[in-house]
Each structure stands twice: as structure tokens, then as C-alpha cells.
Structure 1
Amino acid sequence: MIKYIVPLISIFLISCATSKDENFTYVGGKIIHPKGEFVIIYDNKSEVVDSIKLNIDNTFLGKLTDIKTGLYYFKHGPETQYLYLEPQDSLLFRLNTWGFDESLVFSGSNAEENNALIENFLINEKQIKDFYKYNKLSPDDFLKTIDSLKKDKDKYLENFKTRTVDFSDNYLDILKVALYYPLYSKLETYAINNRLKEQPDSINENKFISHRDNIRINGDSLMFFPPYGKYVYNNIYYDVYAKNIKDDSDDFTLSVLETVNNKIESKSLKNKLLKETIIRHFYSKKSCNLNKKAYDLFSKFSSSDSDKAKITKLLADVKHIPKNKHLPSFNLHTPQGSIENINNIIRGNSSVIYFRNKDYSSDKWVASRMNYLIEKNPEINFLVINFNHNNKKYIKNLNIQHQFYLDEKSDAHNFLSSKYPRTILVNKKGIVVNSFCALSSKKIEKQITELH
């Protein structure tokens, strides 16, 4: 790594020396086997802070202005990782995209802090796999395992404090989240799963939530950080499952909305969770109906007019294509370059039509999911229809014969006003069997099989 770092450090030192009094922060490094031309840095609201172009030798250097202390994240190609930055930092990192997370190494200011975050990311990834077997343990043995893991993390934290000369309280809070919140999520998940058993074990659930006295769930600036965001969801859903409400019922959705409203004080975080709850539960249902009571409760609790407008559009999109009716007519661009009517393309064939918004799914995921469904259902006609961004850019590793796109004039936009992706199932007669479902849902796999 030295041969790449030394020249870059020299650049940083020269740059910083000429602007001591200016509030610039430098981020640079080198990408081995790059997957794109840019390294893009985002803040905790997913807004772009800087888009840094790689040089011909795959090094890069960005100069950020007036940043705030805290956690950021960067993207290169399809991959994402996290950065802790403070004003006037000069932070370097190097990675190899063939082993993105495993190869990521930081140098420069706050290098110790960032290396600790990536190290704990890798530890947590390994422990996720270990928990497949831990979850089969008895309650007492599970608690002993968690206690042992927590002691390891306690030692890690003390070692970090000893070897790191200077770190902020702000960073220490983030490191504690990275260390402990994944364990808290596993504790509450274990208790939830115990409740879902037909004959649940008799356990003292208080032992599984005793950590709640020392945690916070109103930190909206950290919701984008997986250890924190996942725990907040676990915390809320644990309280709902504790009421013994069936999770496939409308009452379950109502209870989640009420719990979010009662527990979350931050307006921005509350609005975010309310919107995500109603959308997540809508997509997870077998039917294509939006729960009217849930919609009314969401509207009552949310203070975001833009969120309400978006969900209102979603409701209108649902109503636009009724179940058991013919699919509305619209034109689309075919892989061959012609413009055709959807009814001509699906005529006489049972079809799965996925309207894809690139903002919500990666090429890799869509290709993997579609190839799985196509292989499982060779007699079904599968269409992936892009309706935003780079419509002519086709997905690699997915047969181009399945890929279409809409232009701005297509009537299909009448039922895509919310911009949310939607999957529509149509039988051989052109009748809609399910007008709005999620491609990711396992519940629709049976419905697709029944289209034969």
C-alpha cells in the first residue's frame, strides 16, 4: 500500500499547507480493478457531498467544503461503505473491488477510527452467519453466547481507547453502535421468534430487552447506518409482536404505525418510519389492496406533506388497474428497437410484468431474481420494463429479450405516478391476477406458478 499512499499524502500535505485557514476536508486514495469512473460521497440524508473522478492510474482526490463531523458513506460501482469524517481531515483509503470490504484500508487523519468501523463491519458479517446456529440454542445458552460476544466487544472497545491517541465522543458513540447494536437486534429477534412458535418456550423476555435502558432510538442522523437502522426496526417490531397480533393481518400494520408514533420523538425519523412501514406492509401482502385504515392512520400521524402526496399517488396507482380486469393498453420500446403495444407482446401468454425504477433496485439483484423466476417458470412470459433513468441501458446477465423501456409519452405512466416499482401478474386471457406486488416477495411465487 505504501507506494500508493506516499504520493497521495504528499499531495494532501501540499494542499493543506496552502489552505490552513480554510475549512476543507480531503478524501483520496486508489481503487484496484475499478467498477466505474467515480467515487461518490454521500451524507446521512443520502445527498451527494462530492463526486470524485478517478485519474488514469485509478487514484482520486476530493476536496470537500464545510462538512460537519459525523458518519458519511461512499459508493463505487454497486458497492457501499462508511466513512467517519471531521472538518479538515485528510483521509486516504485503498480497496480492491474483487474483495471490496475485505481489502478496504484507511490511512491519514481518523484512519484508526475508520479502520475500526470496517473491522467491525466484517466481524458483524461473520457473526450473522454464526447466528443461524446460535438461534437454535436454548434461551439460557443463547443469552450466555450473547454475553460472551459482548465481553469480546468490551475488550475491543478498551483496546481501541488504549491504542488511539485522540478520538471524539461523537465517534465513540458511533463505534458503540457498530459494536453492540447488532447484538441487541439478535436478542430481540430471538424473543420475537420464540413468540412465533406454535408452542413458544417459556422465557424471561426481560433478559432479552434489558439493554434498552442504555440505548437510544431517536437518532435520525444514524438511521442510514445498518447497525443502528436495523435495531430501531427490531425495537419497534418487538413491541408489536409482544401484543400477539398476527403479522399478516391489517391490525399488525396499524399497531406498527401506532408504535412508531408513540415511541419516536424526532419528526423527521417518525415520518420516515411511518412511510416505510405503510409501503413495506403494502408490498408484503398477497393482495393488491392498500389498507384504508392504515392509510388514514399514516395520514394522521405523519407531518410530511410530500410523503402524504406520494402515498396518495400510490393509492391512485393501485386503483388505476383493478384486479380481474384487462390490463390497460400502453406502448413500450422493445429490445429490437420498435415500439409495440403491451397487448401484442403478452397476447396468449401468462405474463409477469415488472415495472422497474432504477432508484430502488440494483442491476445485479434484478438479474438474479428474474433469472431465478424464469428458470422456475419457463412457460411464463417475463418482462422487465424500465420507466426512469437510462432507459436504453440494459441489465447485464439478464437476457435482453426480457428487457423493455417506456418513453415519456407512454400511457403506462398513468399508473406509475408514485414512481414506486410494481409487479403485475396477468393470465393468458390478459386478465390481471395481481395488480401491484413486490418482485422480491416470496408470496407471489405461488401466484406466478398458478398462472400456468
Structure 2
Amino acid sequence: MKYYLLFFLIGVILFTGCNDSQKDQKGTFVGGQIMNPYNPYFILSKDNETIDTLFLDQNNQFGKNFKDLEAGIYSFNHPPENQIMYLEPGDSVLVWLNTMQFDESLNFSGPGAAKSSFLLDMFLNNERNNNLMLSYYKINPSEFAGITDSIKNTRKNKLKDLNEKKKFSESFLELANNSIDYDFYHLRERYTFLVKKYYNELAQQIPDDFHDYREDLNFNDTQLKEYYGYLNFIEDYLRTRSIERCLEEYDTNSDCFELHSVDNIQYRISLADSLIKKEEIKNIFINRLAIQGLVFSNNAEKIDSILGILEDIKFSGKNLPDLKQMAGIQKSLLPGNNIGNLSLTSFQEDTVSLKEISDKPIVTYHWSMEAPEHYKWQHSIIATLREKYPELEFVGINIDKDSHQSWKNTIEIYGMNREREYKLNPAKIKVNLLKNYLNKLIFLDTNGNIVNGEAQLNTPNFERQILEFLNN
């Protein structure tokens, strides 16, 4: 199949021309090939707005010449996967990937592709560094500072060497250098949070100059607003500052690491509101933090408090109606409410209500085909729990709209229990809102009353919650 792509690339180069002036006139070409595609399309977007949907041909190839794309970071999706690329007028970039190993197989080629390849290399290195953080945060701050300095210098030198060969534009060089810096800052912020939480002795050894970079931070860099490293840094910075502020104001025995408390959410939202002036960046974090606060609220008062925080800062982002709907969803899932009449579709395509499924107490878990790693991990754990707790009925609820056949195919391919898998019938709720509940399980008594609406598979006290449920 790569031979088809080679001929495709030759055609692209001939079509777009070779010199800079010709390229500028012809615009920007984006094409490629997807092996083992999940679906027949490739979506190019920027600033959360779809630019175009390119459909795959019989060879799983796609391509289009765009006339008016501005220079910058773009996102591309082959649902459920996504990544970023950097495009400038005159580029002719081909994307090749195999969905069996999406990020690892991803390859960019053609004129201008080196910029995207550099960002991809940064992403893969960051993934490896994230895994190493599990051991990095156990070392002393001075040693950790040396490691992060080395990572930063290595990347700067690589960019310098690459630029000598590729002659990058000034705008890309600025973005690439800033992305290296913010990845470096992100490591420092994550380390600070982890040692303050788990190793107070190490936290006391953090040198005064460890966070010197904080004096030069830019929370309004619109050029980086699609770069995951920049967004991850801001999120971790807000989190770390909330912990530092709490530890400074209260004694160390206080619940400073309760990240979903109303007090913590309020501080982080207020901090984001004061630091970030660009609405398109600010709204990302206000929305994220409000969702966290709502999803983890265990009573109506806390839910109303989160909405009150948004009113206090006069938040008017386009997601405000969604957040208000989220508040309603969360209130409906509080203990004491009844959801036994929730309408579902069985594998055999019969319509049933949740309470009709079993005479046993029910534990619901929720999944989406757009999160394959999540549902594979989730169903593996559920299979074990079914054997361990036969007195409970574990019921899977798929939240995706439509796609009935794809849902059935997924159940068959991954060997899920078709007798205990159901699909949520259409409701006036956006699927993106329901995705915030993929990690949650709901415990129901035999009448459909909610006993526990905040259990999560990935928490250490989950099985204790099951035992408490059984003993009620």
C-alpha cells in the first residue's frame, strides 16, 4: 500500500510545483493514507472548528488542496483518534498511519512535513516522560532540575540542527521554541505537585530558583492554544498554585489535595480568570474546571455553588448552557433519585427500562466507541467483578447516538456479554456531556433508586463501596 502513496506523493509534488512562489499560489495540500481505517474519513480542524472532512478512496487515501489556510497548528481526527500538525501556505504534507498503532505509526512526508514531524516527536517523547515521572518525582529537586534541563537543551539543539537543514520560518521557530519551554515548565509543575503531595521532605528541598520561569509565563499565547503541551502546562500550573496557596494559608493536615472541593475549584477558576485574558484560552479552563466541580459534587448545594462561581466571574462562554445542563444531570444522579425508568435498547433491539433488566441490585457502567482504550480497560475489570460479586447485576450502557450496528460489532469483536450490554435511547443530552461520566458507576437498588452515584473504577476505595452497597 505504501507504493500507492509514493505515486500519490509524486503526483502531489508535480501538481503543487517546486518553487516557493508557485507553492504560495497553489495553497496548501493535505493528503495521505490510513491503514485499517476505523471509518471512511479524515477531519481537518482548527480552533475546534471543522475546516473540511476528506473521504477515503478505495485505497484508503485522501487529499485536497486548500487555498486559504493560515500558518499554524491544526488538528486532524480519524475518530476516535486525533493528533496535530503544523501547516503553512505552500506545504504539501502527506499523512500515513496505521490505526493499530496510531501515534507510533504516524508519519509525515512531503514539502513542509518536517515541522509536523518535529511536533510529533515532541509528543512521543512527552508520553515517555510522563511514564518516567512515576520514578522521577521520587528523586531530590536538584537532580530532577538537572534531568529537565538536559531534556530541554537536547530538544533545543535538535531544533537548531534541524533548522539548519530545513530553514524553518520565523513563526514556526518561535512556536517550536516556546513549545519546548512549556513542556519543560510542565515537568517542573508536575514534579512540584507530586512531591508536595507524597514526599514533603523532598518538597522542603526545592531550591528558590526552581520556579524562576514563572516570572516570564504567557497565559495568552494564541499560537500555542492548540498545542497539548501548553494546555497541559496551564492546567498543572493552576493545580500546583492551588495546592501551594492552600498549604500557605492552612496547616498541612487540611484537605489541600481535595482537588474537586468547591474551595479548590473556586480558587483555580478565579486564578484562570485573572491570568488568562484571551477568551478562547480562558474558556477552555473555566469549562474544564466547572465540569470537574459538577461531576464530583455529591449534593445539590455544591452543584449550585459551582454555578455560583461562574456567575461571580460573569462567565459567558458558549459552553455555559452545557454546564447548566451538566448541573441538571448531576442533580438527577444524586442518591435518592430514581432512574429505573431510563429507556434502553438491548442487543436484540428490544426497548427496556433499566429496572426491568434484573431483580438484583444493579451497577451501571458507561462507555463510548470513541474511547476504545477506556472501554477495553473497563470491560476487563467488569468481567472480573461479575465473577467476584454474582449477587450484583453489572449493566453496560453505551452512550453513543445512532451507530447501532457499530455498537453490536464492537460487542462481538471484544467478546462483551451481549445479554448485559445496552444502548441509551436518544435523549436531549449531548453525547459530549455524557462522556464526562465514563469513569463513573451508579449503584441502584431493586426499585431503581440511586444508592451511590459517585463510584469510580479507578479509585482505591471502589471495592469498599461495593461491599458497603451489598451490606445496606
Which TM-score tier does this pair reach, normalised by the shorter chain? 0.7 to 0.9
The letter for the 2-side match of 1:247 is: F
Q: Pairwise mapping of residues 169-318 of structure 1 onto structure 2 (< 5 A)?
A: 169-197=170-198, 199-201=200-202, 202-204=204-206, 206-220=208-222, 222-244=224-246, 246-248=256-258, 249-284=261-296, 290-304=302-316, 306-318=318-330
2:438 corresponds to 1:420: no
Q: Shift in Å at residue 403 of structure 1?
A: 2.2
1:362 aligned residue (358, 371, 374): 371
Corresponding residue number in structure 1 for 2:341: 329
Bigger shift: 70-79 or 325-334? 325-334
Q: Shift in Å at residue 366 of structure 1?
A: 2.1
Corresponding residue number in structure 2 for 1:121: 123
Q: Shift in Å at residue 310 of structure 1?
A: 1.9
1:371 aligned residue (368, 380, 398): 380
8 Å CA contact 2:29, 2:64 repeated in 1: yes
Tell me how far apart the structure 1 counterparts of residues 60 and 430 of structure 2 sit (CA, whole Å): 40
- Which TM-score applies when normalising by structure 1? 0.86
Deviations 1:10-46 (A, max 9, x none): 32245436x9785632112233343432222221x23
Q: Pairwise mapping of residues 97-112 of structure 1 onto structure 2 (< 5 A)?
A: 97-112=99-114
Tell me how far apart the structure 2 counterparts of residues 449 and 416 of structure 1 sit (CA, whole Å): 33
Q: Shift in Å at residue 267 of structure 1?
A: 1.9
8 Å CA contact 2:303, 2:327 repeated in 1: no
Corresponding residue number in structure 2 for 1:430: 448
Q: Shift in Å at residue 144 of structure 1?
A: 1.7
Bigger shift: 257-266 or 76-85? 76-85
Residues 288, 434 of structure 1: CA spacing in aligned structure 2 closer, same or farther, 3 A cutoff?
farther
Corresponding residue number in structure 2 for 1:67: 69
The letter for the 1-side match of 2:136 is: Y
Q: Secondary structure at the match of 2:448?
A: coil
Deviations 1:252-296 (A, max 9, x none): 111111111111111222222112101123334566864433320
8 Å CA contact 2:394, 2:420 repeated in 1: yes
Corresponding residue number in structure 1 for 2:89: 87
Residues 96, 322 of structure 1: CA spacing in aligned structure 2 closer, same or farther, 3 A cutoff?
closer
Q: Secondary structure at the match of 2:245?
A: coil
Bigger shift: 438-447 or 201-210? 438-447
Q: Shift in Å at residue 335 of structure 1?
A: 1.5
Corresponding residue number in structure 2 for 1:450: 468
Corresponding residue number in structure 1 for 2:133: 131
Residues 420, 325 of structure 1: CA spacing in aligned structure 2 closer, same or farther, 3 A cutoff?
closer
8 Å CA contact 1:424, 1:434 repeated in 2: yes
Tell me how far apart the structure 1 counterparts of residues 86 and 215 of structure 2 sit (CA, whole Å): 27
The letter for the 1-side match of 2:363 is: V
Q: Secondary structure at the match of 2:434?
A: coil
Tell me how far apart the structure 2 counterparts of residues 436 and 417 of structure 1 sit (CA, whole Å): 19
Q: Shift in Å at residue 134 of structure 1?
A: 1.8
Bigger shift: 147-156 or 380-389? 380-389
Q: Secondary structure at the match of 2:246?
A: coil
Tell me how far apart the structure 1 counterparts of residues 26 and 43 of structure 2 sit (CA, whole Å): 20
Q: Shift in Å at residue 241 of structure 1?
A: 0.9
The letter for the 2-side match of 1:351 is: I
Q: Shift in Å at residue 445 of structure 1?
A: 5.2
8 Å CA contact 1:191, 1:208 repeated in 2: no
The letter for the 2-side match of 1:26 is: F
Q: Shift in Å at residue 111 of structure 1?
A: 1.9
Residues 449, 164 of structure 1: CA spacing in aligned structure 2 closer, same or farther, 3 A cutoff?
farther
The letter for the 2-side match of 1:323 is: P
Tell me how far apart the structure 1 counterparts of residues 323 and 459 of structure 2 sit (CA, whole Å): 20
1:342 aligned residue (343, 347, 354): 354
Tell me how far apart the structure 1 counterparts of residues 432 and 371 of structure 2 sit (CA, whole Å): 19
8 Å CA contact 1:437, 1:444 repeated in 2: yes
1:38 aligned residue (38, 41, 57): 41
Q: Secondary structure at the match of 1:207?
A: coil
Deviations 1:95-116 (A, max 9, x none): 3334433333322221221222
8 Å CA contact 1:321, 1:328 repeated in 2: no
Tell me how far apart the structure 1 counterparts of residues 322 and 366 of structure 2 sit (CA, whole Å): 17
Q: Secondary structure at the match of 1:243?
A: helix
8 Å CA contact 2:97, 2:106 repeated in 1: yes
The letter for the 1-side match of 2:185 is: Y
8 Å CA contact 1:287, 1:434 repeated in 2: no
2:401 corresponds to 1:389: yes
2:420 corresponds to 1:402: yes
Tell me how far apart the structure 2 counterparts of residues 415 and 372 of structure 1 sit (CA, whole Å): 28
Q: Shift in Å at residue 84 of structure 1?
A: 0.6
Q: Shift in Å at residue 139 of structure 1?
A: 1.5
The letter for the 2-side match of 1:8 is: F
Q: Shift in Å at residue 389 of structure 1?
A: 2.0
8 Å CA contact 1:286, 1:444 repeated in 2: no
8 Å CA contact 1:286, 1:437 repeated in 2: no
Unmatched 5+ residue regions in structure 2? 248-255
Corresponding residue number in structure 1 for 2:251: none
Bigger shift: 369-378 or 418-427? 418-427
Tell me how far apart the structure 1 counterparts of residues 318 and 353 of structure 2 sit (CA, whole Å): 33
Residues 95, 326 of structure 1: CA spacing in aligned structure 2 closer, same or farther, 3 A cutoff?
closer
Tell me how far apart the structure 2 counterparts of residues 173 and 445 of structure 1 sit (CA, whole Å): 50
Residues 6, 212 of structure 1: CA spacing in aligned structure 2 closer, same or farther, 3 A cutoff?
same
The letter for the 1-side match of 2:27 is: F
1:353 aligned residue (340, 364, 370): 364
8 Å CA contact 2:294, 2:306 repeated in 1: no
The letter for the 2-side match of 1:363 is: P
Residues 100, 431 of structure 1: CA spacing in aligned structure 2 closer, same or farther, 3 A cutoff?
closer
Tell me how far apart the structure 2 counterparts of residues 280 and 205 of structure 1 sit (CA, whole Å): 32
The letter for the 2-side match of 1:171 is: F
Residues 323, 297 of structure 1: CA spacing in aligned structure 2 closer, same or farther, 3 A cutoff?
same
